[in-house]
């Protein structure tokens, strides 16, 4: 076990264990969190956790801002452990983007019935109230804590092998951050159709080719197959509601302004970029069809930020 006092996010932080291990951040005096804090910290480091100890943020000037600065300056998302009296600083720091800042929150309390105000449901990350004085024998609290961390802040990378759990494959693919597009065309009756798709990719500059993948299960698959043209509309950060609307059933064009260029395929007004395409090839690929389009016209807005999608959630660009 090692100990050194680095400064992170403007705070003096004690460090125990291997810095390459996943971080467990203790907020406040460790003696206030564990019955025997040295034993608990040792158990955590032996279980492959890098334990950092930060000062309590209660009472400090702008405690929430200081805690958020510390969390954003850490090299990876920590598991947080705090006492109930730190919650007035911790809960606001984790609201809205909590899951991006911490993997999970453990609240050390003498009474396991304690609920963090305004309730764990309000936080977008797993919360566990750890009863520290429940008369458990030596090691029992640590075992329960390490079990919780293994479930919600796993140490090991997750693996997928062909034929195993498709959810794991989906999660692995979700590590690739994408933009979000709305793909559109006109049906045989000249009605606009479209859906949200993040499977867009550029393919070739000469000739100018792009692609998107359409699930065979899409209600629009035959219409896209029949259409000679389609358009790709890349969404900007303000168009998350449009992305939501085009991924749900209903009249998707009701609340969006659009125009037609040369082929009639709907071009969403104000999109970050739009590409009008002639369908070049349709490739059958498992449960999707790959539509390759030859770009005939494009327009883009040079200043707006894109809407991003990563690990199943919408994101925005972050400049540090
Ligand atoms: C961010 C995001 C990306 C998506 N990407 C695709 C995609 O690339 N291909 C696809 O077929 N469906 C994709 N979908 C799902 C479709 O938008 C959704 O299933 C839609 O309801 C299909 O509509 P349809 O059946 O009317 O065609 C995505 C959904 C979201 C929210």
pLDDT at 164: 82
Can you give the pLDDT at residue 58?
A: 72
Instruction: Extract the tokens encoding 319.
Output: 């400049």
Whether 45 maps to a domain, the answer reads yes
What does the H/E/C string look like for the chain? CCEECCEECCEECEEECCCCCCEEEEECCHHHCCCCHHHHHHHHHHCCCEEEEECCCCCCCCHHHHHHHHHHHCCCCCEEEEEHHHHHHHHHHHCCCHHHHCCEEEEEECCCCCCCCCCHHHCCCCEEEEECCCCCCCCHHHHHHHHHHHHHCCCCCCCCCCCCCHHHHHHHHCCCCEECEEEEEECCCCCEEEEEECCCEEEECCCCEEEEEEECCCCCHHHHHHCCEEEEEECEHHHHHHHHHCCCCCCCCCCCCEEECCCCCEEECCCCEEEEEEEEEEEEECCEEEEEEEEEEEEECCCCCECEEECCEEECCCCC
CATH of the domain at 265: 2.30.110.10
pLDDT for the residue 75: 84
Give the total number of structural domains in the chain: 2
CA of 193 to the centre of ligand 1 (A): 13
93/64 same-domain check: yes
Determine the pLDDT at residue 12: 82
Q: Model confidence over 77-135: pLDDT tens digits?
A: 899 999 988 888 888 888 877 778 899 999 998 765 566 555 555 788 899 999 876 56
Look at residue 264 and tell me if it is in a domain.
yes
State if residue 196 touches ligand 1 by the CB under 6 angstroms criterion: yes
Task: Mark whether 197 and 100 lie in a shared domain.
Answer: no
Is 42 in the same domain as 124?
A: yes
Separation of CA 165 and ligand 1 centre (Å): 21
Interatomic CA distance for residues 208 and 68, integer angstroms: 45
3-state secondary structure of 314: strand
The per-residue pLDDT for 155 is: 79
Q: Which atom of ligand 1 is nearest to the CA of 221?
A: 27
Looking at the fold, whether 124 and 181 belong to one and the same domain comes out as no
Let me know whether 23 and 120 are in one domain.
yes
According to the model, what pLDDT value does residue 5 have? 60
Pick the range with the lowest mean pLDDT from 3-7, 73-77, 276-280, 281-285: 3-7
Predicted local distance difference test score (pLDDT) of residue 223: 98
Are 202 and 83 members of one domain?
no
- Flag whether 168 is in a domain: no
Best of 215, 222, 227 to mutate for ligand 1, by most ligand atoms within 8 A of CB?
215
Q: What is the pLDDT of residues 21-62, one digit of tens each?
A: 899 999 989 999 998 999 999 999 999 999 999 988 877 688
Question: Looking at residue 238, what is its pLDDT?
Answer: 97
Smallest CA separation from ligand 1 atom 19, residue: 247
Q: Which domain holds residue 288?
A: 173-315
User: What average pLDDT score do residues 150-169 get?
Assistant: 85
Domain end residue (candidates: 152, 181, 202) = 152
> Which span out of 1-10, 11-20, 45-54 was modeled with the highest average pLDDT?
45-54
- What's the 215 CA to ligand 1 centre distance in angstroms? 8
- 95 assigned to some structural domain: yes
Q: Of 152, 185, 216, which residue constitutes the final position of a domain? A: 152
Asked if omega into 207 is within 30° of 0 (cis), the reply is: yes
Residue 257 falls inside a structural domain: yes
Residue 174 contacts residue 310 (beta carbons within 8 Å): yes
Residue 124 and residue 44 share a domain: yes
DSSP string, 188-216: TTS-EEEEEE---EEEETTTTEEEEEEET
Q: What is the CATH number of the domain that holds 147?
A: 3.40.50.1820
Which residue, by CA, sits nearest to atom 4 of ligand 1?
Answer: 197
Look at residue 271 and tell me if it is in a domain.
yes
Residue 173: which pLDDT band, with cuts at 50, 70 and 90?
Answer: very high
Report if residue 208 sits inside a domain: yes
Alpha-carbon gap, residue 182 to 293, rounded angstroms: 15
Residue 183 has a pLDDT of 98
The verdict on 209 and 146 lying in the same domain is no
**Same domain (yes/no): 148, 192:** no
Residues 27 and 144 in one domain: yes
- Compute CA distances 212 → 14, 182, 202, whole Å: 49, 10, 9
Q: Do 16 and 78 have their domain in common?
A: yes
Among candidate residues 67, 49, 45, 47, the one with its CA nearest the CA of residue 58 = 67
Nearest to 153 by CA among 83, 110, 101, 91: 101
Q: Whose CA is nearest to atom 5 of ligand 1?
A: 197
Does residue 107 sit in the same domain as residue 231?
A: no
| Spacing of C-alpha 3 from chain mean position | 32
- Condensed to tens digits (0 to 9), the pLDDT of residues 195-251 reads 999 999 999 999 999 999 999 999 999 999 999 999 999 999 999 999 999 999 999
């Amino acid at each position: 076990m090692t100990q050194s006092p680095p400064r992170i996010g403007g705070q003096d932080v004690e460090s125990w264990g291997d810095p390459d291990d996943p971080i467990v951040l203790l907020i406040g005096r460790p003696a206030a969190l564990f019955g025997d804090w040295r034993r608990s910290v040792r158990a955590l480091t032996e279980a492959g956790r890098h334990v950092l100890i930060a000062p309590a943020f209660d009472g400090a000037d702008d405690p929430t801002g200081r805690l958020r600065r510390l969390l954003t300056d850490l090299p990876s998302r920590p598991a947080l452990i705090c006492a109930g009296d730190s919650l007035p600083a911790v809960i606001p720091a984790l609201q809205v983007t909590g899951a991006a800042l911490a993997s999970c929150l453990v609240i050390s309390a003498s009474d396991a019935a304690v609920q963090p105000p305004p309730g764990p449901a309000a936080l977008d990350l797993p919360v566990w109230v750890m009863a520290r004085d429940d008369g458990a024998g030596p090691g029992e609290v640590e075992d329960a804590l390490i079990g919780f961390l293994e479930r919600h802040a796993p140490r090991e990378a997750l693996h997928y092998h062909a034929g195993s759990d498709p959810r794991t494959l989906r999660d692995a693919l979700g590590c690739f951050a994408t933009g979000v597009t709305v793909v559109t065309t006109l049906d045989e009756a000249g009605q606009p159709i479209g859906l949200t798709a993040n499977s867009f990719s550029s393919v070739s500059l000469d000739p100018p080719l792009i692609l998107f993948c359409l699930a065979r299960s899409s209600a629009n698959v035959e219409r896209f197959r029949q259409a000679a043209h389609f358009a790709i509309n890349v969404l900007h950060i303000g168009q998350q509601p449009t992305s939501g609307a085009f991924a749900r059933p209903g009249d998707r064009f009701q609340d969006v302004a659009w125009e037609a260029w040369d082929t009639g395929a709907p071009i969403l007004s104000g999109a970050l970029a739009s590409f009008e395409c002639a369908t070049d090839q349709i490739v059958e690929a498992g449960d999707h069809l790959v539509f390759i389009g030859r770009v005939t016209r494009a327009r883009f807005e040079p200043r707006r930020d894109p809407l991003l999608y990563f690990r199943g959630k919408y994101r925005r660009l972050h400049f540090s």
